Amino acid sequence: MSEGFEFQHPWVLVFLALLPLYAFVRGRAGADGALRFSSVELVLAIGGKVRSMAGRLFIFLRTLTVALAIVAMAGPRWVNEQTETQASGVDIMLVFDLSWSMMALDMAPPGKLTTRFDIAQSVLKDFVARRPSDRIGLIAFSGVPYLVSPPTLNHEWLQKNLDRLYIGVITELGTAIGDATGLAVKRLSAQKQSRGKLIVLLTDGDNNKWETLEPIASASLAAGEGVRVYSVGVGKNEQCWLNDFDRETGKLRLGPDGRPSGVITMLQPANYVVLEKMSKMTGGKSYTATNRQELDTVYADIDRLEKTEVKLKHHRTYTPLFYIPLLGALAVLLLELLLANTRFRRIP
């Protein structure tokens, strides 16, 4: 919203340039008044002063009256301009893998103890922040999926729920990609009058557990509902250690030297062929990321492909102010008449 002052007919102000000429003509026009006195010396001392003071004052008042009238005719007004944003967003379900393998450190910068989960959580929060006009929901899964948030525009609340997640919060072990995707499709199908529906699935493993749906079946369900699946596989394509961690807090167990103090198992490279098939079946796109920079690029690309339509409507309201200079002109004119009939009254 912005405010400002303007004239409705600014060209009228050109007549203000003629006022000096008007004042000059008024000052020279008309014959001097005359009275008969026995001796001119009686009025010689006061005649010049009275004529000069009264004449100049009346010329000034009349010029000011005309100037104020011109300003009033120019139509001064106060402008209040408002911009209304109408956003037609899409409905998004973030499907976030919280299986134990997300504690691997293979994506961390050199010398840092940053897990796959830490990097993914940070990137997801940035993605949510970039899409304020979209309804975004969140499903976390490991051996079973859990609905963390249905699609919502309350992104502050969604971000707080993202912050509360950690590896170990879901006690059921495994990676139920199919069931998690199926739950996301179910939540999106309940959204009516949506411009678009999509699932962004982030995982570092293969589907190894399910109760209802395998990944390809869930993708077929998504395609039938018009839901696009964007799959994101994280982790390097090589073996890496899964370090021990506290299941109650999701924090790595560190030794006195500040390094991880134990390992759980050796992780094998993931196979993302299934993820690619899921995305292709639904008209989405499949990605892989081996570090934070690549993952940022992935979500930036999804953000670019799934743009929200934003329309701007401009409204202007006007508050007329012409009466202010008009009242001023009338006041000055009345003052001139008052002075002409009292203190500077003219004698015929």
Q: Helices marked H in the chain — which ranges?
A: 19-28, 41-73, 116-129, 155-164, 177-189, 215-224, 273-282, 292-305, 323-340
User: What does the alpha-carbon distance between residue 109 and residue 178 come to, in Å, rounded to a whole number?
Assistant: 31
Q: How many residues does the chain have?
A: 348
Residue 2's pLDDT band, with cuts at 50, 70 and 90, is: low
The pLDDT of residue 284 is above 70: yes
Contact 176, 142 (CB under 8 A): yes
More confident residue, 228 or 334: 228
What pLDDT does residue 191 have? 83
Q: What does pTM read for this prediction? A: 0.66
- Mean pLDDT of the 16-42 span: 63
Residue range 179-205, pLDDT digits in tens: 999 999 999 998 877 778 999 999 998
What pLDDT does residue 346 have? 57
DSSP one-letter string for 184-200: HHHHHHT--S-S-EEEE
* Span between the terminal Cα atoms of the chain, in Å: 61
DSSP bridge partners of 76: 7
- Mean pLDDT of the 49-76 span: 77
User: What does the alpha-carbon distance between residue 68 and residue 97 come to, in Å, rounded to a whole number?
Assistant: 73
User: What does the alpha-carbon distance between residue 95 and residue 197 come to, in Å, rounded to a whole number?
Assistant: 13
The pLDDT of residue 126 is above 80: yes
Residue 166's pLDDT band, with cuts at 50, 70 and 90, is: very high
Enumerate the domain spans of the chain: 2-81+319-340, 90-307
Residues 6+ apart with CB under 8 A from 325: 68, 69, 71, 72, 76
Residue range 201-228, pLDDT digits in tens: 999 988 988 888 999 999 999 999 999 9
User: What does the alpha-carbon distance between residue 113 and residue 187 come to, in Å, rounded to a whole number?
Assistant: 35
What pLDDT does residue 314 have? 64
Residue 31's pLDDT band, with cuts at 50, 70 and 90, is: very low
DSSP character at residue 314:
E
User: What does the alpha-carbon distance between residue 239 and residue 263 come to, in Å, rounded to a whole number?
Assistant: 13
Residue 78's pLDDT band, with cuts at 50, 70 and 90, is: confident
The pLDDT of residue 326 is above 60: yes
The pLDDT of residue 6 is above 70: yes
What pLDDT does residue 196 have? 87
Closest C-alpha to 178, from 221, 237, 135, 120: 221
Q: Which helix (H) or strand (E) holds 148?
A: strand 145-152
- Average pLDDT taken over every residue of the chain: 86
What pLDDT does residue 240 have? 93
Class of domain 90-307: alpha beta
Residue range 296-309, pLDDT digits in tens: 999 999 998 877 65
Residue range 45-60, pLDDT digits in tens: 554 444 455 667 778 8
The pLDDT of residue 24 is above 80: no
The pLDDT of residue 174 is above 80: yes
